[in-house]
């Protein structure tokens, strides 16, 4: 089996195991390499990420935003924002405010650069924080590409969002919460990442129990 034939969620889980081996070295060297490029950015890792960075494919980002049924006054939070692709797309395509949060200073640095190169600084804020310590109650749309157990850990905070807020998760469900919509997406045959499948879940606050 080559790399391209492994479905994305399995790659994510394999990468999660690898990160346990590599984090110590990364944490020691990263403090030296990260430039201070945003007020909320610290070069000191807060703690080891709960899941490694695996970017969401652009067509999946588009579909996640479509499923969110975005309105002009929405505020989108991407919890674990990686390189900031979801918050940048939300600002560029829908003109809404968006907040990207990541614990990893390297990802924060990449997100800040992404925001600047796409000239959406007036709409997008990037924060370095632990999503489990974060106050995100102003969010009306939340996007997730984490792991099932991390989604479940976020449930108490997600449940307190304003009624009508939408939560969209790439690939992972949220045990105990019945999704309002589940969409499957296959990659096109010529996708440079090879064959991939994504399942997207949507919940609307307050969700029904499963």
Figure out which of the listed residues 9, 49, 105, 179 binds ligand SAM, where binding follows CB under 6 A. Answer: 49
Give the integer Cα–Cα distance in Å for 170 and 145: 5
The answer to the question of residue 196 lying near ligand SAM (CB under 6 A) is no
36 three-state secondary structure: coil
97 three-state secondary structure: strand
Give the integer Cα–Cα distance in Å for 135 and 108: 18
Nearest in space to 99 (alpha carbons), one of 151, 50, 136? 136
Alpha helices, DSSP H, located in 34-173: 58-67, 85-94, 105-117, 148-159
Least gap, CB of 209 to ligand SAM (angstroms): 26
Backbone dihedral region for residue 144 (phi beyond 0: left; psi -120 to 50: alpha; all else: beta): beta
Q: Are strands 141-144 and 75-79 parallel, antiparallel or unpaired?
A: parallel
Least gap, CB of 46 to ligand SAM (angstroms): 8
Pair of tokens at residue 13: 């889980």
The answer to the question of residue 54 lying near ligand SAM (CB under 6 A) is yes
The answer to the question of residue 102 lying near ligand SAM (CB under 6 A) is yes
The answer to the question of residue 62 lying near ligand SAM (CB under 6 A) is no
How many chain residues touch ligand SAM (CB under 6 A)?
23
Figure out which of the listed residues 9, 45, 82, 179 binds ligand SAM, where binding follows CB under 6 A. Answer: 82
Nearer to ligand SAM, 27 or 178 (CB): 27
Choices 74-82, 112-120, 157-165, 194-202 (CB under 6 A): range interacting with ligand SAM: 74-82
Choices 33-41, 97-105, 188-196, 202-210 (CB under 6 A): range interacting with ligand SAM: 97-105
24 three-state secondary structure: helix
Residues near ligand SAM (CB under 6 A) are: 12, 49-51, 53-56, 78, 80-82, 85-86, 101-104, 107, 130-132, 145
């Amino acid at each position: 089996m080559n790399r391209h034939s492994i479905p994305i969620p399995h790659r994510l889980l394999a990468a999660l195991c690898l990160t346990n081996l590599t984090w110590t070295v990364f944490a020691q060297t990263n403090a030296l390499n990260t430039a201070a490029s945003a007020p909320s950015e610290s070069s000191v890792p807060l703690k080891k990420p709960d899941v490694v960075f695996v970017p969401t494919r652009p067509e999946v980002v588009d579909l996640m935003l479509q499923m969110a049924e975005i309105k002009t006054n929405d505020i989108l939070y991407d919890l674990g924002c990686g390189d900031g692709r979801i918050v940048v797309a939300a600002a560029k395509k829908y003109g809404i405010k968006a907040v990207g949060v990541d614990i990893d200073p390297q990802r924060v640095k990449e997100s800040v650069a992404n925001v600047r190169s796409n000239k959406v600084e007036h709409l997008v804020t990037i924060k370095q924080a632990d999503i489990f310590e974060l106050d995100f109650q102003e969010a009306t749309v939340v996007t997730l590409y984490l792991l099932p157990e991390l989604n479940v850990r976020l449930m108490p905070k997600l449940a307190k969002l304003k009624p009508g807020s939408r939560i969209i998760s790439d690939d992972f469900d949220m045990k105990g919460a019945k999704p309002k919509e589940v969409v499957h997406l296959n990659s096109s045959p010529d996708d440079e990442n090879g064959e991939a499948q994504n399942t997207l879940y949507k919940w609307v606050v307050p969700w029904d129990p499963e």
